[in-house]
Homo-oligomer: A and B are copies of this chain.
């Protein structure tokens, strides 16, 4: 495993900057030995010049050609699993089985987009012969900047869903590598570029830039040759870059997925007997603590009606959370952020169901369960901030009306969940409607974690879950973020693209 710490400007390794940083191994509580070199503006410019050239060449490459490229990336990743796992684990402190599952998902996504664009129904065309002969198809927007997430070094970073969908659309990709797993990023980029060369893709179709500073991130978003951005990260970062993208001389589509509280509404019937209580306690303990709770769909708020059933559920859930053990978080910075949010929620009235442990660290975090009343929840916004780690808050409500009022103050969310076990009463129906208006996905009697990658998926939701509720980050429709329609009116066959001939 060789990490140079340099950036890929197209195929070329480059490291002109003099700012260096290192990634961190939370498990071993030490920095990784490879040294990452942050790019300078000139290198960003070079990547964009190459991307612009590549975009022109891509016009001559068919869907089949791009499809082969995506499949070859999948092959390359598949062939170098051990090497990839090693750096992934060193930089994320996630387990090998998680690394495997995530790489499989990444490979599946690449193959899904490869199959999608190779199918006869892509791109969606419409024809009309009236006064004129009209033929509609889609064109790619141009070079897309991808800001990878911290929590999915494979599946939502370097060649994750954003990059795969943009390349599938025919857009060159410039990745702003996540500084917490820059080594993994470099290695993945290396295999993407080998695949590009093998399948005859133009130089500049893919670049991987080591960027840590806000200034350079902003420079990339404002670069005139960038025609769209895919971002996965925090609300603060996403919002700031979104505004820069809209203030450009030429505003560009900026799709950000920025986190979610993923409320769960528990109808009393879901906790009607000991079996049900046990069942949901087990399921939610895993959903809250898996991946150290560092998932965008982690259930962060559990709304329930107070009483003895809820007390039993809280106790059992705490026990199950304890059984899930301690976790390493991705990075000490995320650990600190998580602990701060936890403290804020505590100070805002979130009671500890069991006492917090005192000696926690990024390498050893237990799961936390807080509870508060619906009144506290309504009056204090600190109980409505995402805690990016293994924690959830139980909001104790008087009745279903009270629960409905509490969820009605929530902003947009990726998901909303409802648990029940008997007939659907009017109170439950109202809650369902309230959830529906606020989320991109409603789950009944299940957990929100686990996002299937398929055409029917929608991973998005009203602001601040995303910057545009009309688009998805997961599933084949994710490609629509990077395409624009065009109509050919009375255009002779010779000039039409293949799909319209």
**Which residues from chain A sit less than 8 Å from chain B, CB to CB?**
59, 126-128, 130-132, 134-136, 139, 141, 242-243, 246-247, 250-251, 253, 411-412, 424, 429, 432-433, 436-437, 439-446, 450, 452, 454-458, 460, 462-464, 467-470, 472, 477, 480-481, 483-492, 494-495
Known contacts A59-B433, A246-B246; A486/B135 CB under 8 A: no
Report whether B452 and A130 are in contact in the complex, using a CB–CB cutoff of 8 Å: yes
> In the complex, A439 Cα to B491 Cα: how many Å?
14
Whether A424 pairs with B492 at a CB distance below 8 angstroms is yes
Asked whether, in the complex, the Cβ of A128 is within 8 Å of the Cβ of B243, the reply is no
Known: A128-B455, A131-B452, A132-B452. A490 touches B246 (CB 8 A): no
Number of copies: 2
- 5 tightest CB-CB pairs across the interface, nearest first? A128-B456, A469-B484, A246-B246, A134-B456, A126-B456
Identify A484's interface contact among B127, B455, B470, B494, CB under 8 A.
Answer: B470
CA–CA, A21 and B477, complex, Å: 48
Which residue of the partner chain, among B247, B412, B445, B494, contacts A490 with CB atoms under 8 Å?
B445
| A442 with B488, Cβ < 8 A, contacts A126-B455, A134-B452, A456-B128 known | yes
Contact B424–A127 (Cβ < 8 Å): no
Known contacts A134-B452, A455-B126, A441 near B242 by CB under 8 Å: no
Q: Point out the residues of chain B lying under 8 angstroms from A437, CB to CB.
A: 139
Our pick among B457, B462, B487 for the contact of A457 (Cβ within 8 Å) is B487
Q: Would you call B251 and A247 a contact (CB within 8 A)?
A: no
Distance of A212 Cα from B128 Cα, bound (Å): 40
B126 touches A446 (CB 8 A): no
Q: Which residues of B sit under 8 angstroms from A446, Cβ to Cβ? A: 132, 489-490
12 further interface pairs, Cβ-Cβ under 8 Å (given A134-B452, A424-B495): A136-B456, A141-B469, A243-B246, A251-B467, A442-B487, A442-B488, A443-B491, A444-B492, A456-B487, A462-B484, A470-B483, A470-B485
